[in-house]
């Protein structure tokens, strides 16, 4: 895989230890796809996928990490490079998540509400361990499982953390997430124009391999794909062929 090839990053979202998907972050619009997330992760690895976005939705809701066991299993039984998010709020949480096998931690709500904590994590664990989670509605950052609008402007948020050395950000357009209606390519282009060195990962609405190729052409570092895989719009064989 060359450095310029976009990284296709499947998402596994966890509720009660099961692999689920929500629509627009709504816990009432939950669909269980597999009772065994490890099985799902292994099937990704079998198709040449190297990266995984693992989200503890129980953790996001309760403001502390809940599903450590799922992370430990996947990290222990695959070679996937895992970025983990959802409920990482304390020093204890981030230490345990990294000890449990995550390669990176996604800092979202905590980076908005308590930036000093994340600045300290950047210093203690290294900026390469922190991925900035920018969940966006109308270019404003949303927090707490997308239930709350922080009022913080997206570009202001990105600037604060890139100045501290963070080089990677997952940007999710909430209006697109789980809808399989296409991602916010215009928004991503605008971000990369302003932050050309940012390793930007698209999230929300990615629904076809054609779109993945379009995102690659715009200079995106990665694309998180969730429901499109689980609903069969993007097959694992398509992904495997993309990397050949």
Residues with a catalytic annotation lie at 13, 135
Cα(227)–Cα(207) distance, integer angstroms = 8
> What region does 133 belong to: left with phi over 0, alpha with psi -120 to 50, or beta?
beta
> How is residue 244 annotated by DSSP?
-
Phi and psi at residue 66, to the nearest 5°:
-110, -45
- Tokens at 118, concatenated: 């994340």
Residue 24, helix vs strand vs coil = coil
Residues 85, 108 contacting (CB under 8 angstroms): yes
Residues 103, 75 contacting (CB under 8 angstroms): no
DSSP codes joined into one string, 92-134? HHHHHHHHTT-SEEEE-HHHHH-HHHHHHHHHHH-GGGEEEEE
- Percent composition of the chain: helix, strand, coil (DSSP 3-state, to 5): 40, 30, 30
- Tokens at 37, concatenated: 């997330």
């Amino acid at each position: 895989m060359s450095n310029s090839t976009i990284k296709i990053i499947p998402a596994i979202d966890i509720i009660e230890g099961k692999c689920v998907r929500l629509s627009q972050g709504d816990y009432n619009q939950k669909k269980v796809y597999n009772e065994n997330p490890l099985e799902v992760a292994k099937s990704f690895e079998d198709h040449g996928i190297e990266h995984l976005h693992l989200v503890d939705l129980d953790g996001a809701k309760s403001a502390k990490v809940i599903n450590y066991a799922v992370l430990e299993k996947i990290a222990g039984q695959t070679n996937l490079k895992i970025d983990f998010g959802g409920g990482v709020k304390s020093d204890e949480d981030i230490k345990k998540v990294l000890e449990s096998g995550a390669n990176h931690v996604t800092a979202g709500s905590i980076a908005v509400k308590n930036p000093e904590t994340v600045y300290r994590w950047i210093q203690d664990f290294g900026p390469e361990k922190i991925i900035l989670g920018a969940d966006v509605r109308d270019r404003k950052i949303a927090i707490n499982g997308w239930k709350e609008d922080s009022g913080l402007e997206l570009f202001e948020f990105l600037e604060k953390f890139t100045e501290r050395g963070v080089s990677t950000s997952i940007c999710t357009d909430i209006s697109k997430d789980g809808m399989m209606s296409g991602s916010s390519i215009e928004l991503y282009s605008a971000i990369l124009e302003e932050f050309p060195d940012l390793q930007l990962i698209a999230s929300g609405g990615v629904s076809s391999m054609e779109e993945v190729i379009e995102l690659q052409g715009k200079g995106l570092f990665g694309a998180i794909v969730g429901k499109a895989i689980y609903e069969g719009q993007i097959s694992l064989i398509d992904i495997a062929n993309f990397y050949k």
